[in-house]
Amino acid sequence: MLEVAPTVYVSPRMNPGIRSRVWRVLSEWHAEEPRGSITMVWRDLNETGGVGINSLGEPPRELIEVDGTWLVKKRL
């Protein structure tokens, strides 16, 4: 993975198996030290807009689809 900005990593050809393993490891790390947030975005033609999204952390938020666009809904 290439670090394109501090703490921002990209990998244009990460297959689903590797993506799943990376997400599992990140989830375990975040459970041990739950500070900050983690967001993973990948191409998924079966999802709205062709993008799959996973996220962990603060601030609490929910990713919702509105008219084909992903928006962040913050919980108060």
- pLDDT for residue 48 is more than 70: no
Geometric angle at alpha carbon 12, from 8 and 36, rounded to 5°: 25
- What integer pLDDT is reported at residue 3 of this predicted model? 86
Using the structure block, give the residue that is written with the tokens 């501090």.
6
Please count the CA atoms within 13 angstroms of the CA of 2 that sit on its side-chain side: 5
pLDDT of residue 4: 87
Q: How far is CA 16 from the centre of its chain?
A: 13
As a whole number, mean pLDDT of residues 3-32 equals 90
Rounding to the nearest 10 degrees, give the CA dihedral for residues 64, 74, 5, 32. -100
